[in-house]
Amino acid sequence: MASTELLFTPATRMAALIRRKQLSPVDYVDAVLAAIERLQPALNCFVTVMAEEARAAAIEAEQAVIAGRPLGPLHGVPVSIKDLIPTRGVRTTFGSVAFADNVPDRDDVLVTRLKAAGAIVIGKSTTPEFGIKGQTSAPLFGITRNPWDLERTPGGSSGGAAAAVAAGLGPLGLGSDGAGSTRIPAACCGLVGLKGTTGAVPYQETRDAFGNVIAAGPLTRTIADAVLMQSMMAGADPLDPWTAHAPPLGHISPRLLSQDLAGLRIGYLGRCAGKAVAADVAANTRASLDVLAGLGAEVEEVTAEIDWMAEDQRVLYLCSIANNLASVVERFGERTDPVLRAYVAAGKRYDIAAYIRAINARTRLFRAVQALFESYDVLVSPTLTRTALAADFDGAAGIVEIDGEAVGPVQPNWTGFVYPFNLTGHPALSVPSGWGRDGLPTGVQIVGPRHGDGNVLRLGALLEQARPWADRRPPVAVS
């Protein structure tokens, strides 16, 4: 298998080739590490490349194959880990100068589970400082760039993982999503990005376990890879109270087991918290809906008036940042990201009454979305309102332009479709919907009832079959 083909082959197939002794894990890992060495200077998608550790793990994986030992479903497959997630003995910086030399003494449970499934960790992928924004840059390591256009962002905060997977630097990236942080990069980079139902996979890194809005999840090029990776990470964890009774991949409706979607009710969210959607994004979303309608689904635009709590979401988000990270800003000052400093200052301006009102607004939003599922089986929307922003876009003060018109700040004018489902806990999947006028990927989001993860993945698979995307490769990877 040629090196370029090897780099863009799905993890499911590579694991099968390794099990059949048709591919050496050592050769596979060496090819990925060589590609990282070539592309890292352009993309800047890794904080740490674990070349020595990955090669040692690949040798051990090959010996296991030769010896006929039991092999995990991801045996020998490279995976990158977002640098917000601890890895034992390997620097975990959280994208911050405050943790530039931090070396954890433990693996997060998700890293443990991926390793147990046979995956080989190749590096820690970049994240903005503490994952606070939708573009991936930080004073600690600089700007991470989109492999489809180096002048654009790969999104954030899992932008390093997305850039790596899109460029063929390993088929699997572990991201996390607190306000769209897997789905934003997925849409920017032409990938599959899943935020499962809260509790579908454990998230040990949150400070507020009971009010948690963050879900770790896969960034991959195919639905099958996302399903496999998610299933390896799922299951109860005593440190995460949401996982106790969460089915690993959620329910899947029997009506979705064939390609006949007759009777499936889809609610189209043409607008959410944002003011406008780019014409090319809207057209590609409609094309995806047409595929599902062609299979028999009933598509209806959602007209219900919903308070998407754009301002109250900012209250919750900024108050959390101010409370948790003000000490970092106080200690490190201008060595921290200007966006972090702006967010801490903004969060300090809210009082407890504003915070309580925002908590109550979250409950109202949850109930409003739950009510939509009385009329619809799934919801479909664009993932983002436009293609990727500039790589150096100012996440705090920058103004988003859509079709040549200035519409306002990033949240909600770029990311207004994604954050609501962190607050409500519903599963949300972004898959590619096509290509914009600028040649960059666009994404469509599929949202299901809580624990309906299997349904959204199945609909993503039907879109993948009808309008395949994984065969396209970004210019930086083939130049």
Print the domain residue range for 456: 3-478
49's enclosing H/E stretch is strand 46-49
| 24, 236, 264, 461 from 454: Cα distances, Å | 32, 18, 15, 10
Which residues sit opposite 90 in a β-bridge? 87
Is it the case that residue 479 has pLDDT exceeding 70? no
Q: Please, where are the H alpha helices in 333-351?
A: 338-347
Catalytic residue (one of 82, 115, 124, 195): 82
pLDDT of residue 273: 87
Mean pLDDT of the 335-361 span: 98
pLDDT of residue 2: 67
pLDDT of residue 1: 64
CATH number of the structural domain spanning residue 455: 3.90.1300.10
Give the predicted TM-score (pTM) of the model: 0.98
Q: Please, where are the H alpha helices in 126-254?
A: 159-166, 183-189, 223-233
Catalytic residue (one of 96, 125, 181, 433): 181
Q: What is the per-residue pLDDT across 298-332, written as a single tens digit (0 to 9) for each?
A: 999 999 999 999 999 999 999 999 999 999 999 99
338-347 and 310-332 helices, crossing angle to 10°? 120
> Who's near 44: CB < 8 A, 6+ residues apart?
126, 141, 142, 143, 144, 145
Is it the case that residue 193 has pLDDT exceeding 90? yes
Domain count for the chain: 1
Residue 242 CB-half CA count within 13 A: 24
- Position 128 confidence tier, pLDDT thresholds 50, 70, 90: very high
Q: What is the per-residue pLDDT across 68-84, written as a single tens digit (0 to 9) for each?
A: 999 999 999 999 999 99
Q: What is the per-residue pLDDT across 199-235, written as a single tens digit (0 to 9) for each?
A: 999 999 999 999 999 999 999 999 999 999 999 999 9
What percent of the chain stands above pLDDT 90? 94
181 in catalytic set: yes
133 in catalytic set: no
Catalytic residue (one of 157, 158, 176, 288): 157
157 in catalytic set: yes
Q: Where are any strands of DSSP class E within 97-138?
A: 120-125, 137-138
Q: How many helices (H) and strands (E) in the chain?
A: 16, 15
